[in-house]
Chains A and B, each alone.
Chain A
Amino acid sequence: MMRRFFAPLLAAGLLAGVAAHAEDTLSPLRFQSSGAFGSIDLAAAQRGFAVYQGACASCHGMNGLHYRDLEALGLTPEQVAGIAGSVKLADGSAATPDSRFKQPALVNMGGAVPPDLSTIVAQRPGGTRYIYDFLTGFGPAPAGMKLLPGHNYNAAFPGGQVSMPAVLRDNAVTYADGTKATTAQEAADVAEFLTWASEPNLSARHAVGLRAVIFFAFLTIVAVLTKRRIWRQEG
Chain B
Amino acid sequence: MQMEAKQGWLASRVPGLGCACGLMREARPPGQPWFNALPVLLGVLLAVLLASGAVVTVYYNPWHAYDSLQGIAREVRGGWVVLGYHQIGASLAFALLYLHLFRTLLTGGYRAPAEFAWMLWVKLLAVLLLTGWLGFVLNGGAGGYWSLMNAGNAAVRLNGFPGAVAMWFLGGPPGGSTFARLLVLHVLLALCAVLVIWMACAAAKKARPMPQGRAVPFWPVYASQYFAALAALALVFALLLGFAPHWGLGGQNAIPAGDMAVPVAISYPWYLTPAAGLAGAFHGVAGHIWAVIAAALLLYALPWLDRSRRHRPGRLYRAFIWLLGLDVLALGVVTAFPMGSLLPALFTFWFFFHFLVLTPLVTMLEAV
Contacts and interface: CB of A to CB of B under 8 A. Distances in A.
Given A201-B80, A227-B227, A235-B30, A212 B221 contact: no
A158 to B, nearest CB: 11
Contacts of B54: none
Interface string A129-145: 00000000000000000
B80 A216 contact: no
Given A118-B70, A220-B235, A235-B30, A212 B224 contact: no
Interface stretch (B177-185, B191-199, B200-208, B236-244): B236-244
Given A113-B260, A226-B224, A230-B221, A217 B70 contact: no
Nearest to A212: B238
Given A209-B243, A212-B242, A220-B231, A227 B73 contact: no
Nearest to B244: A36
B242 A209 contact: yes
Nearest to A225: B228
Interface string B141-185: 000000000000000000000000000000000000000000000
Contacts of A206: 242-243
Interface residues of B, number: 34
Contact of A227 (B74, B81, B224, B255): B224
B43 to A, nearest CB: 18
Interface in A192-235: 200-201, 205-206, 208-210, 212-213, 215-217, 219-220, 223-224, 226-227, 230-231, 234-235
A217 B55 CA distance: 28
A216 B234 contact: yes
Interface of A: 36, 63-65, 69, 113, 116, 118-119, 122-123, 125, 200-201, 205-206, 208-210, 212-213, 215-217, 219-220, 223-224, 226-227, 230-231, 234-235
Given A216-B235, A216-B237, A223-B228, 17 more contacts: A64-B67, A64-B70, A69-B74, A116-B256, A123-B254, A201-B73, A205-B245, A209-B239, A209-B243, A212-B241, A213-B239, A216-B238, A220-B231, A223-B232, A227-B225, A231-B221, A231-B224
